[in-house]
Amino acid sequence: MIVVTGGAGFIGSQLVAGLNQAGREDLIVVDNLSNGKKFSNLAANSIADYFDKTEFREMVKNRHPLLEHVEMIFHQGACSVTTEWDGRYMMDNNFTYSKELLHFCLEKSKPFIYASSAAVYGVNTTFAERVENENPVNVYGYSKLLFDNYVRRHGFAADSQVAGLRYFNVYGPGESHKGSMASVMFHFNNQLQQTDSVKLFQGSHGYQDGEQLRDFIFVEDVVKVNLWLKDMPSVSGIYNVGTGSANTFNQAANAVISWHGKGQIEFIPFPDSLKESYQSFTQADMTGLRRAGYDAEFTSLSDGVNTYMEALNS
């Protein structure tokens, strides 16, 4: 059996779908369905069992006999709300929980593939997986970095696979429950359905209106990296998962507008509250993952947006 934590969430549910497509239905999904809307992400997928996160943590703590059948864990479960400042909650959910699963896998010599985040880099211009580039600006990013560093100290001496994936700006089907944390493509689509315009920030941090840059990656590419690692158990490490190319918010907005065949961009004032913590530029350095052997191409922004708009508006 394969465990997918956060399996009802955005990336987790798409990973479950990808495992189904690869012929695996012996899946245990772990999540917290306090937000019941997430059920729809799992409805079309085939799984063997479901456990609430709290129950599953107890099972891991007590080494429940069922877990003897676990082949590997994809740990996608986390609080990904970058504006959450309850540090105690964030550290328990993102750091302590991750440690519990890591040590279970190390003890049982089972592969452990987990979600990290580009938030570990903070406001930066260099995005390679090195300590000197890591400077998170919120407690979410800190919780992810703390666990990455814990893995660096405790995980790579093991004889089983441990891989951390620093996701950049992921977009695609399955994110509607995320509210304000959903991708800009999701919000652009909603805005165009309600009005004839999409809203972008005015210029900031030396960038002109809407010219701030992000490395947008389609969720299907993220799933492919996870599944590749599953088939490459000798590959361990912490790797960026982006496309390696940055696109402006103007380009993202225009891709959505082009698909709809209507709309214009409206620039709104840049919020004072974000001036010290806003990533005006992200671009994954993909050298590490490429060196590890991953050679698949990444979906272009236009192709990814078109596929996503078809899914959102079908």
pLDDT digits (tens, 9 = 90+) for 63-98: 999 999 999 999 999 876 666 667 888 899 999 999
The pLDDT of residue 312 is above 70: yes
252 and 228 part of one domain = no
Cross-strand bridge partners of residue 171 = 218
pLDDT digits (tens, 9 = 90+) for 165-218: 999 999 999 999 998 889 999 999 999 999 999 999 999 989 999 999 999 999
203 and 135 part of one domain = no
Using a 10 angstrom Cβ sphere, with 0-12 exposed, 13-18 middle and 19 or more buried, the burial of residue 306 is middle
Q: According to the model, what pLDDT value does residue 264 have? A: 96
23 and 100 part of one domain = yes
Spell out the residues 6+ positions from residue 234 whose beta carbon is closer than 8 angstroms to its own: 161
59 and 162 part of one domain = yes
The pLDDT of residue 13 is above 90: yes
Q: According to the model, what pLDDT value does residue 37 have? A: 85
Q: For residue 66, give both structure tokens.
A: 């069922």
263 and 289 part of one domain = no
Q: For residue 12, how far is the Cα from the chain centroid? A: 9
CATH number of the domain where residue 63 is located: 3.40.50.720
200 and 81 part of one domain = no
The number of distinct structural domains making up the chain is 2
208 and 220 part of one domain = no
Is the dihedral angle over the CA atoms 162, 168, 174, 180 positive or is it negative?
positive
Owning domain of residue 179: 174-213+246-272+302-312
Q: According to the model, what pLDDT value does residue 82 have? A: 63
The pLDDT of residue 138 is above 70: yes
pLDDT digits (tens, 9 = 90+) for 239-256: 999 999 999 999 999 999
90 and 180 part of one domain = no
Q: Which residues carry out catalysis?
A: 140, 178
139 and 183 part of one domain = no
Residue 16 lies in a domain: yes
Tell me the three state secondary structure of residue 34.
coil
119 and 199 part of one domain = no
For 33-42, 76-85, 125-134, 267-276, which range has the lowest pLDDT when averaged over its residues? 76-85
The pLDDT of residue 155 is above 90: no
The pLDDT of residue 157 is above 80: no
38 and 155 part of one domain = yes
Residue 277 lies in a domain: no
118 and 266 part of one domain = no
Residue 111 lies in a domain: yes
Cross-strand bridge partners of residue 241 = 167
Do the Cβ atoms of 267 and 201 come closer than 8 Å?
yes
- Burial 250-265, CB ≥16 within 10 A → b, else e: bbbbbbbbebeeebeb
- Burial 138-151, CB ≥16 within 10 A → b, else e: bbbbbbbbbbbeeb
CATH number of the domain where residue 188 is located: 3.90.25.10
Residue 108 lies in a domain: yes
